[in-house]
């Protein structure tokens, strides 16, 4: 396989992993963001700390903890494999690693958007006869939608760039678990591989810059919307 073909394959896998990670993490992140922003309960600090832990742990530690929990010799990993879901050393594991690593960023963006919504608007909707589900769908959700999207973009970008936890948990198998960052790292290990690495670095930079630009634009939109009350 040529170096370019390998690069495109790695980019394809990274996009695939990031897509699934973002899609699966979004509802859970929204729920957790809602709990943290709106629901009073005991031990909220614990949930908050757990969500933010992957931000402060070395990614290799997170990856190793995932391997300990979901590895092929761990009880949880064996149980999942029995129902046909292999995670360790498989692209699905890369998705799990990306979810865990991107989760704090997604929750933070969504939580800020939820906290910016004035509960008085929801009270006004209730006095107009709207049941709770309608208040959420017609008032809350449209107001936080840009925040949800911004969180998704951040999560997607994080999934594209994840390296430490991914390589620890699912290794670096070309065509199977070799994401773009893993492929760059591999290319840099080979004498004369810099030109192949440079091409992939350019691809990675492009995706990252696009994510930041989109996310900023959406964040501005949510601010403008809510300030318009």
Partner 1 sequence: MSLDLHIKQQFGDFALDVAFTAGAGITALFGRSGAGKTTVINAVAGLLRPEGGHVHLQGETLFDATRGIFVPPAKRQLGYVFQDARLFPHLSVVDNLTFGARYAPSGAAGPDLADVIKLLGLEHVQNRAPNTLSGGEKQRVALGRALLSRPRLLLMDEPLASLDGPRKQEILPYLERLRDGPLGLPILYVSHAVDEVARLADTLVLVQDGRVRADGPLFEVMSDPAAVPLLGVREAGAVIEADVLEHADDGLSTLRISAGQLELPGVQAPVGARVRLRVLAQDVILSLDRPDGLSSVNILPVVIEAVHPGDGPGAAIALRAGNDRLLARVTARAVAELRLKPGLHCHAILKATTVAPGSIGR
Write out the residues near partner 1 by the rule CB under 8 A. Answer: 118, 120-121, 123-132, 135, 138-139, 142-143, 225-229
Task: Give SS3 for 41.
Answer: coil
Q: Which is nearer to partner 1, 75 or 142 (CB)?
A: 142
Q: Which is nearer to partner 1, 139 or 196 (CB)?
A: 139
Q: Which is nearer to partner 1, 38 or 132 (CB)?
A: 132
Task: Give SS3 for 60.
Answer: helix
| Residue 37 exposed, middle or buried by CB count within 10 Å (0-12, 13-18, 19+) | middle
Please report how close the Cβ of residue 136 comes to partner 1 at its closest, in angstroms.
12
Please report how close the Cβ of residue 214 comes to partner 1 at its closest, in angstroms.
20
Contact 88, 70 (CB under 8 A): yes
What gap in Å lies between CA 150 and CA 129, rounded to an integer?
A: 31
Q: Which is nearer to partner 1, 60 or 130 (CB)?
A: 130
User: Quick one: which of 152, 158, 159 has its CA closest to 218?
Assistant: 152
Largest CA distance in the chain: 70
Q: Which is nearer to partner 1, 124 or 213 (CB)?
A: 124
What gap in Å lies between CA 116 and CA 129, rounded to an integer?
A: 23
Q: How many CA atoms lie within 13 A of 98 on its CB side?
A: 35
Please report how close the Cβ of residue 138 comes to partner 1 at its closest, in angstroms.
7
What are the counts of helices (DSSP H) followed by strands (DSSP E) for the chain?
11, 0
Quickly tell me which residue has 């897509």 as its tokens.
19
Q: Which is nearer to partner 1, 192 or 228 (CB)?
A: 228
Please report how close the Cβ of residue 217 comes to partner 1 at its closest, in angstroms.
17
Please report how close the Cβ of residue 41 comes to partner 1 at its closest, in angstroms.
20
Please report how close the Cβ of residue 27 comes to partner 1 at its closest, in angstroms.
22
What gap in Å lies between CA 182 and CA 173, rounded to an integer?
A: 9
């Amino acid at each position: 396989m040529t170096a370019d073909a390998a690069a495109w394959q790695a980019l394809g896998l990274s996009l695939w992993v990031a897509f699934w990670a973002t899609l699966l993490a979004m509802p859970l992140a929204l729920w957790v963001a809602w709990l943290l922003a709106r629901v009073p309960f005991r031990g909220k600090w614990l949930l908050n700390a757990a969500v933010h832990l992957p931000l402060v742990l070395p990614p290799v530690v997170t990856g190793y903890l995932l391997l300990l929990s979901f590895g092929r010799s761990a009880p949880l990993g064996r149980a999942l494999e029995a129902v046909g879901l292999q995670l360790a050393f498989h692209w699905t594991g890369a998705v799990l690693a990306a979810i865990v690593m991107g989760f704090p960023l997604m929750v933070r963006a969504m939580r800020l958007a939820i906290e910016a919504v004035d509960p008085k608007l929801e009270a006004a909707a209730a006095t107009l006869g709207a049941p709770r589900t309608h208040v959420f769908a017609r008032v809350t959700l449209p107001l936080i939608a840009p925040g949800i999207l911004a969180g998704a973009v951040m999560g997607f970008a994080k999934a594209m760039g994840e390296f430490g936890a991914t390589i620890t948990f699912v290794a670096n198998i070309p065509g199977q678990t070799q994401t773009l960052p893993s492929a760059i790292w591999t290319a840099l290990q080979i004498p004369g591989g810099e030109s192949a690495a440079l091409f992939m670095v350019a691809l990675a930079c492009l995706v990252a810059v696009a994510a930041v630009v989109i996310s900023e634009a959406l964040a501005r939109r949510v601010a403008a919307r809510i300030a318009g009350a």
